[in-house]
């Protein structure tokens, strides 16, 4: 039991941190594209896992998670927002090549729970017959350190 506690403490102290993608590789709005198609429209989705996890959180953690959601919706995707969150990049779960590019990030809700989310690169897509500059963000999980499925699982 003592060994397990020491291991947990050491894991927290020396947790591996992946470097955040360089600004040039982040899925942010491109001003030149916005000049042509208008402002970047970001749509947010929640996985079934996220919804289930959220319901299982303690009320205080639900409040913290909601504040982190608000930060994400306010554009604090690669940085901490007013609610904090110790935002960090999870390179092992991100996809930087191919058709399904995405960045997977995490924000700290409390000592045990993390809000994990996936950001897809902006693209010009057709919506209702009009070209729109669009980006998708998927809130994946928020209990423990879960990683929910594959990049297109939402």
Please give the distance of CA 69 from its chain centroid, rounded to a whole number.
Answer: 9
Question: Is 101 a member of any domain?
Answer: yes
CA distance 4 to 51: 31
Question: Is 76 a member of any domain?
Answer: yes
- Specify the DSSP class assigned to residue 135: E
Question: Is 64 a member of any domain?
Answer: yes
What SS3 state is found at 94? coil
Angstrom CA distances, 149 to 15, 20, 82, 140, stand at 23, 22, 29, 8
45 phi and psi angles, rounded to 5 deg? -125, 155
| Higher-confidence position of 124 and 14 | 124
Largest CA distance in the chain: 63
* DSSP string of 103-129, one letter each residue: EEEEEESSSS-EEEEEEPPPEEEEETT
pLDDT mean across residues, the chain: 87
Q: What is the pLDDT of residue 144?
A: 83
Question: Is 122 a member of any domain?
Answer: yes
pTM: 0.84
Q: With cut-offs at 50, 70 and 90, classify the pLDDT of residue 145.
A: confident
Residue 88 β-bridge partners: 106
Q: With cut-offs at 50, 70 and 90, classify the pLDDT of residue 86.
A: very high
Q: What is the pLDDT of residues 28-58, one digit of tens each?
A: 999 999 999 999 999 999 999 999 999 999 9
Segment (H or E) for 106: strand 103-108
- Quote the number of domains for the chain: 1
Question: Is 81 a member of any domain?
Answer: yes
The dihedral through the CA atoms of 2, 5, 11, 12 has a sign that is: negative
Domain containing residue 70: CATH number:
3.30.2310.20
Question: Is 5 a member of any domain?
Answer: no
Check pLDDT > 90 for residue 114. Answer: yes
């Amino acid at each position: 039991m003592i060994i397990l506690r020491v291991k947990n403490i050491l894991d927290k102290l020396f947790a591996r941190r992946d470097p955040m993608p360089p600004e040039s590789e982040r899925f942010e709005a491109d001003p030149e594209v916005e000049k042509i198609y208008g402002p970047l429209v970001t749509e947010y989705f929640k996985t079934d896992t996220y919804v289930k996890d959220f319901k299982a959180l303690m009320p205080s953690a639900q409040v913290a998670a909601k504040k982190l959601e608000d930060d994400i919706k306010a554009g604090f995707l690669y940085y901490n927002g007013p609610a904090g969150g110790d935002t960090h990049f999870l390179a092992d779960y991100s996809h930087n090549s191919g058709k399904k590019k995405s960045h997977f990030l995490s924000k700290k809700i409390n000592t045990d729970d993390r809000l994990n989310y996936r950001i897809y690169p902006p693209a010009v897509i057709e919506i209702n017959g009009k070209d729109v500059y669009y980006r998708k963000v998927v809130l994946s999980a928020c209990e423990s350190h879960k990683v929910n499925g594959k990049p297109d699982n939402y």
